[in-house]
Amino acid sequence: MKKALIITLAALFSFTAGFAQNKREQKMQAAIDALMTTQFVQKYKEYKDIVEVTASSFKPTAASYDQMEVERIKFNYETSRASFDKILMGVKKDLLDKTTREYIVGNPDRYTQFVATELEMAMNNYQEMVVFKINTLTGQQTVGFGIMEIKLLLDLVFDVVGVIQSINKELDKMNEAYLDEKFTNVLKIKTWDELGMATMPSTTSSSGF
């Protein structure tokens, strides 16, 4: 009788823990969905693809050109990628910190201007140090960012601030590993060595949340 009671209590505890875990993951996913469907993130993903396609289209022909110039382009690409990722990691840190989120909600214009300035610098640097260098070396016109493309993305930054305000409670439940898997890693730009490689499906388990 006592053994049966212990088994029943253990099963009940397991069910309750599983239910709580599922509710938490639902809240986290709701926050992710809200972020990923913003116009800013959708446009960022589009521009991320442009960055990768531009470099990956050049990479197979790189052996045909002066290797010192190719190495310079590679270095510039990695530098630009690091600039984009720095912004992304900063946003991730802000999303996870309640105090920072309260500041964002209270000072949307100031936060928007900060992110927009960093993003504009990264996009201009990529255009000048990667796209222009590839065009000069190959004599071709590689796809990059014009003034209008940059302005469009910057105008959409404010969109994210409103979403952060609307999902503030859901973000309180956010797990960093979950945010990385569903948001940060999805938006990260491939390294030079990863260019041309197929993206492997994520094997991260959600059992730890």
Query: Is 8 part of any domain?
Result: no
Q: Show the domain range for 94.
A: 26-60+69-187
The Cα 72–Cα 74 span in angstroms is 5
Query: Is 75 part of any domain?
Result: yes
Instruction: Provide the number of structural domains found in the chain.
Output: 1
Query: Is 164 part of any domain?
Result: yes
The Cα 183–Cα 45 span in angstroms is 11
Query: Is 130 part of any domain?
Result: yes
Three-state SS for the chain is CHHHHHHHHHHHHHHHHHHHHHHHHHHHHHHHHHHHCCHHHHHHHHHHHHHHHHHHHHHHHHHHCCHHHHHHHHHHHHHHHHHHHHHHHHHHHHHHCHHHHHHHHHCHHHHHHHHHHHHHHHHHHHHHHHHHHHHHHHCCCCCCCCHHHHHHHHHCHHHHHHHHHHCHHHHHCCCHHHHHHHHHHHHCCCCCCCCCCCCCCCCCCCCCC
Query: Is 134 part of any domain?
Result: yes
Query: Is 149 part of any domain?
Result: yes
CA 200 to chain centre: 17
The Cα 37–Cα 110 span in angstroms is 23
136 burial level (CB within 10 Å; 0-12, 13-18, 19+): exposed
User: What is the number of other CB atoms lying within 10 angstroms of the CB of residue 86?
Assistant: 12
- Mean pLDDT of each 10-residue bin along the chain, 209 residues long: 52 44 83 92 91 92 94 96 94 93 90 90 92 92 75 83 88 91 95 78 39
pLDDT of residue 204: 41
pLDDT of residue 118: 92
Query: Is 14 part of any domain?
Result: no
Query: Is 194 part of any domain?
Result: no
